[in-house]
Amino acid sequence: METINIQGLGYREINERLRKTAAYRLTGCCGERFLGAGMDAGELTIEGVPGNALGAYLNGGSITVYGNAQDAAGDTMNAGEIIVHGSIGDAAGYAMRGGRILVKGDAGYRAGIHMKAYKDKVPVMIIGGRAGSFLGEYQAGGIIIVLALNGGRPVGNFPCTGMHGGKLLLRGCWEDISFPAQVSAQPAEREELEEVRGQLEAFCVAFGYDLSEVLNSPFTSVTPDNGNPYRQMYVMN
């Protein structure tokens, strides 16, 4: 794995160098935008804090951040994986349509906004801590899982506003969270957790958690109501 200290380099120069080999480690990262944007394959390890739009339009390969990440990580990503060993800013996974984002810590506002799925592409985002307000706003597909492993409410205000597809899973029983009338929140069935077991196992392997302890809790499943009027606003029948 080749190591590059990126202090003083522009994102175009950095990304151009990333296309020349399969594995890179970037050091000295402090707010550089668009790192790994459009990457098709390979392995990128980042030490520090990348700037906005980390892994935007990611189409394959893996990006691992040993630190926090800023806003719009995984913007419109199509495939691949982003692993963040810290917290992540606002609008993570914006319009995400494939691949996986794993976050050890918290996520800011509007994580998973406009997330969608198509045929065999089912994007997944797992947040180990808490998510801010408007989680899953206008979600049209894919799966968002919030584990709140450090305790407290897993989400802020107005989760699932405009949600018309996909699924949100919250670790714990959260009947007191105010969801919009157009979604249904109920205890998750065992089959639902089995469907995401492999994804949760990947999260635990990445961050050193015990899968059995993570699953040793009820989960709340949130899905669009069958009579959801939002669906008619966004889907052509």
Q: Model confidence over 134-171: pLDDT tens digits?
A: 999 999 999 999 999 998 999 999 999 999 999 999 99
Q: Model confidence over 89-143: pLDDT tens digits?
A: 999 999 999 999 999 999 999 999 999 998 889 999 999 999 999 999 999 999 9
Residue 132 lies in a domain: yes
Residue 59 lies in a domain: yes
Least confident among 59-68, 157-166, 192-201, 228-237: 228-237
Model confidence band, residue 12 (pLDDT cutoffs 50, 70, 90): confident
Residue 201 lies in a domain: yes
Q: Are 48 and 127 in a shared domain?
A: no
Q: Model confidence over 25-67: pLDDT tens digits?
A: 999 899 899 999 989 988 999 999 999 999 999 999 999 999 9
Strands 59-66 and 79-84: parallel
Q: Are 223 and 150 in a shared domain?
A: yes
Strands 183-187 and 165-171: unpaired
CATH of the domain at 93: 2.160.20.60
Strand ranges, E, within the chain: 2-5, 23-30, 43-49, 59-66, 79-84, 100-103, 124-127, 140-146, 165-171, 183-187, 219-224
Residue ranges making up the domain that contains 42: 1-74
Q: Are 143 and 236 in a shared domain?
A: yes
User: What is the pLDDT of the chain when averaged over all its residues?
Assistant: 92
Q: Are 138 and 197 in a shared domain?
A: yes
Tell me the CA end-to-end span of the chain in Å, nearest whole number: 49
Residue 95 lies in a domain: yes
* pTM (2 d.p.): 0.93
Number of domains in the chain: 2
Q: How far apart are CA 167 and CA 220, in angstroms?
A: 10
**Single-letter amino acid code for the residue at 205:** V
Q: Are 177 and 148 in a shared domain?
A: yes
